[in-house]
Structure formats: C-alpha cells, structure tokens
Structure 1
C-alpha cells in the first residue's frame, strides 16, 4: 500500500522581518543562524533568543563533533522552540536539538536511541537545494565511521517551514549552483525510486521544470538571471524535498557521501560528480518504466532527442557549476575500494531506492571511471 505525507506547515514570507514579527522570535527560542545571516537579515530582530553560529564549532559539512560541541555549549540553558535559518548544515543540525536526547550522537544515528521530540521546530532555508525544511532526515558525517549517515524519523519533521526568497540574494555562484543541482538530483532520484508514487512524481516533475528553466535562462543571459527565478528555485527545492522525503534518494547520494566525508567536498558538488555516471549505468542495465519517463521529460525540457539527454544535461549543468574528476579532489585509486565498501555497507538505506540493483562491481566501476 502506498502512502504520502507532507508534515510541516508551509509559509511564504516576503522578508526576515515579516517572519520574525509573525512568529514573535525572541525570548525562549534557540536560534541557529550564521553571523552573516544575523548581520544582513536579523539586525534588531529576535532579541532575547539564544543564538548559535555553527561555524564556531567547525567548518564545512555537519559532523558529530560539531553537534557535540554545540550541545556542550548549551548545557544548562533552557529553550522552548528551535528556529534555524540557514543552509542544509544548519537545518540538519538544528533538527537534533529539538529532540529529548541527541547524545551519544553515534548511538542516535545507528538507531540505538529512539528519537523523541521535545519542542517546536521552525526551519527557514537560505539555499535552494537540500529541501531539509520539508524532510524528516538529518545527515551528519560520523567521524568515527568515516562516512555520512542519515537519521530518518518523524520526530525530525519541522512544525513550520518558512520560505523567504530574500535569503537567496547574494548567495555565491558556486553555493547557489551546487544547491540548485542538489535539488534537481533530489527530484530525479525520487522520480525513479521504486518507492515513488503518483503524488511524489508530481512534485518531482514540477521541481525539475522550475530548475531546468531557471538554468536555461542563466545559461542564455548569465548567472545574474537567477535573481528573477529565486522564488521558483526555493519552491523547487521544497517540492523536491517533499518528493524525496517520501520516495527517498538513491545511488547518486550514496556514492557522493564517502567523497564528501573524506575530502570535504560540498554536498551538492559531490552529488553532481556522481549524477551522470549513475544514470548512464541505470540506462545501460535497463531502460524502461520511470527511467524512460524521466528521459522523455528531460528531453522535452532540453529540446533534444532521448538518445542525447545525458550529454545535453551535462552541458547545461556544467555552465552552472564546475566539478572535477575524483583525482581532482585528491582521491587516490587506493581509496576507491574503501569508498565502495562504505557505500555497500553503510548506505543500504539509500541503495535500496536505486532504479535497478547496483552491485559492488557496479559501484567499483563508477568510481574507477571517475578517478
């Protein structure tokens, strides 16, 4: 029996000021926001809130050490609501602080501790990629296991997701490109997942349409053209989050996680590296069903035959973001076997959503072709 769920109440606000006023942000709130966000958008707002800048506790992708450092800094402080304004790192970390117990973090992520929610959670994205505001998933790099892992539980759903296009203004080109491509991959992987339904595919297709049309405009008129598409990119990220929150992501994410954890490659960029090799292998192994429907839809958007859809998509995406071979990130051939082992043993949750089964030999092949 199929099911479909949208949990958070979704709000679209014109500005951070409007959001803070409507939600009465302040005393009793634990507020996650970078200093840049605080300086540019929260001046004079949210007075009395306990403020956390995750960059005081680490850099790059979220890790277990970062969470442990924040928890230690907050020891003894009380709050009634968690509010996070930021990218995927901030949102994924903040979700954990709305739980009754988050430590030891490795036991939580290995499901030895049952997640239970203790307070209201409000998530406000500042990128258009992770869709984390719509999902019940938190992703961390667990340093003890040398990989990323996902915690998937309904206690991690936000009570409110607030979309504010203003927050995408001034996002660096690389960060914007990586996050938007991440959202596109969420839409694609959820569309071809065996758990996809008519409901999830509806959200996946609309997200793809908005993202690709925006990318085409940027390719034709320059990257500044994204400014007129900010609301659509933000909505596309949320739509893709709804889709993959129900249908799941798959091998693209599974293969990207060891790269991100070992070489600190930003999540969206690591996904971009894996996207086309995974989908070309899917097509080689079996070309029918939802994969063929995906190719037909992309061919329509890209105005090309089905037979050239992957090369045309690569051409478009390379205008938006530059990525490298694995060797360009410092990956050696000796590390590939370890990467593949991590995928097959630690990423079973994601690999179960592949369009077709990928074996260890398939994973080895993709990594070797990319090195």
Structure 2
C-alpha cells in the first residue's frame, strides 16, 4: 500500500516579489488571477505578461461555463506556463485549463474526453483552505447536468505549488473562515479515511492542531483581520498539510453531501462542508463508536477542554463563532429535495463516499439531510 505521495514540487517565499525574482514571470506565461490580487502584488513589479482576470467570466465557485469561456480566451496567447494566483476557484479552473480542453469541458468531467496535459502549471494559493495546490482534484459545477463533480487524474496535478503567506493578507473575514474550516474538514476526514497511513495521519493531526489553536488565538484577539495576521503563515501551512493528507487518503461523506447545497444554492464550499460536519460524524458514531472516530473525538475534546461526550456540541459552539450553522431550508432547500439530494449524492459522489469511515446506506445519507433540513 502506498503510504504517501506528493507530486508537485513545493516552494515557499515570504512575498510575491521574491517568487517573481526566481520564476521571472514573462511573455511566455499566462497569469490567471483576480484584479484585486493583481493590483497590490503584481502591478507594482511592472511584469510584462499575459493576464486573465477570472471574475470577468463569473463569480463564485468553478463551473464548466467559466472554464469554456476562459479556455477560448487563452487560445489567443502563445505560452508555456499557466500561473494560477488565486483561491480554490482559480486553482481548480487552471488544473483543467492546463489540459487539452475540448469545446465543452464537461466532457473531461464525464469521461467522454481523455485528459491530456499540455501546459506547465504553477499554483500560488491565496486562501488557506483548499490545499488544492498539492492535490489533483478539480471541482466544477456542471451547469448542464445540475451537479458538482470532481476530476481527479494524474494530469491535473500542478507542477509546482508555491506558498506565499503575504498573499493571504487581504482575505475578507468570511473567506478566511470558510476556507480555513474547509482545511480543518480535509484534515479530519482524511484522518478517518480507510486509505489513511501513518504519514497522512501525521499531516492531518498537525493541520488540526494548527487550525484549532490558531482559531483560539484569533477569537481571543477579537476575531478580526488584525487578530489573524500573525497566524497567516500557520494557516497557509496547515491548509497545505491538510491538502497533502486528503490528496493521499481522500475526503468523504462531509464533502460528498455538501456538494448538493453548494451546486443548488451556490453556498461557498467551506461553508457548505461545515453544515454537514458534525451531523455526518454523529452518524459515524452511531454505527462504529469504538473505532478510530473515538480517537478523533478525543483530539477535539482535548483541544477544546471539554468532555468527549459533548464534543460535537462544543465543536459547533466553538466554530460557530467563525461561521454560522443553519438549517438547510434557510439556503432555499425544500423538503422534497431531501430525497432528490440523497439520490444525486449516491449517484455522483461515489469517489468521495468510498473514503467514508464506515459505509453509509442511502437511508442513512437521507437521514443526515433530513436532520439538517
């Protein structure tokens, strides 16, 4: 059994300026970013390169329509490298743009088109959540199929992952909260995965420790941008560690179920995951309370200083200071969609459900949706 594999070369720089001094971004590159990231970090360096602003093609999380439109624009450039300087949306889109993109990118996600890597991909994450810089997972909302789906093949790995803490300085409070809680869930889901190894567990546990302890300090400091600034490096590293863990061991039911409300109601990925986090774990506890999940519960109980019997209640209280948990109907979900989302999850998310701590039946998945409705 393979214990650990990290495909992209991982580099670290304190500033974007230092990164550019080594990589020498130029006319043979396409920089995919957001204008609000370009202006403070790239513009002052007077770099002559090709730039695509992702927000010109839509807001929110990746979709096949965004990918198709951006792929069409990129055909006008003659280039060797794609530099993805942004959050999870940009990173996932660029994993696809580095391939031979057909007229309809949905064909890559459905398997109708075989992925073929065409360009070198350098990923510089600007959030502390996805860990996508070290994984081969690209997620997109497939508008024509009314679902979210992942593409995870050898060809979607980045060639290099570049960590620059400076790039997290402008994160809005909500983006920081939703991205970092996503990293926390990556870490704990990969820890419980049947594919976990002692190596992935090491990365998972370190990420959990760094994120939870960082949250404590931020909340104590006023739960604002100033309070988190000293810990941005820790959160960026923790996100990367969690990415290494789940890139090897996989995520599971929390992610699988969250794609339903993410796709239907455009809920940010980390926020959607958080809605399902403790409810999925309660179902795991119901089915196999004496296994590895008991260790996971004790880890969180020790960090929170609470009795392990109350750990899920305390987790919701603690994390609720950063991100709201609310009934799914407040997002627009109807009672009829309990069955609909159960069916879509079972049909479309087997890649993730295969990593569950214990097997969940269709009825148990439905029960989770119903409990959260």
TM-score under structure 2 length normalisation: 0.97
* Aligned residue runs from structure 1 range 359-370, under 5 A: 359-370=361-372
Deviates more, 1:107-116 or 1:6-15: 107-116
Distance 1:90 1:277 in 2: 30
Deviates more, 1:131-140 or 1:320-329: 320-329
SS at match of 2:263: helix
* Residues 94-150 of structure 1 deviation map (CA, whole Å, 9 limit, x = unaligned): 111111335431221122322221221110111000001010110000112111111
Shift of 1:359: 1.1
Residue 317 of structure 2: aligned partner: 315
Q: Is the 8 A contact 2:3 2:200 kept in 1?
A: no
Q: Is the 8 A contact 1:276 1:310 kept in 2?
A: yes
Q: Which runs of 4+ in 1 moved over 4 A?
A: none
Residue 290 of structure 1: aligned partner: 292
Shift of 1:206: 0.2
Matched, 1:138 2:138: yes
Residue 173 of structure 1: aligned partner: 173
Q: Is the 8 A contact 1:28 1:48 kept in 2?
A: no
* Residues 304-350 of structure 1 deviation map (CA, whole Å, 9 limit, x = unaligned): 22211111111110011123211111111122211111100000100
Flag structure 1 segments of 5+ consecutive residues without an equivalent.
none
SS at match of 2:341: helix
RMSD: 1.2
Residue 222 of structure 1: aligned partner: 222
Deviates more, 1:147-156 or 1:234-243: 147-156
Distance 1:152 1:179 in 2: 20
Residue 207 of structure 2: aligned partner: 207
* Aligned residue runs from structure 1 range 5-20, under 5 A: 5-20=5-20
Residue 251 of structure 1: aligned partner: 253
Q: Is the 8 A contact 2:211 2:238 kept in 1?
A: yes
* Residues 206-260 of structure 1 deviation map (CA, whole Å, 9 limit, x = unaligned): 0000000011112222113211111000000000000000010000001000101
How many correspondences in the alignment? 371
Matched, 1:106 2:97: no
Distance 1:177 1:46 in 2: 33
SS at match of 1:109: helix
TM-score under structure 1 length normalisation: 0.97
Shift of 1:46: 6.4
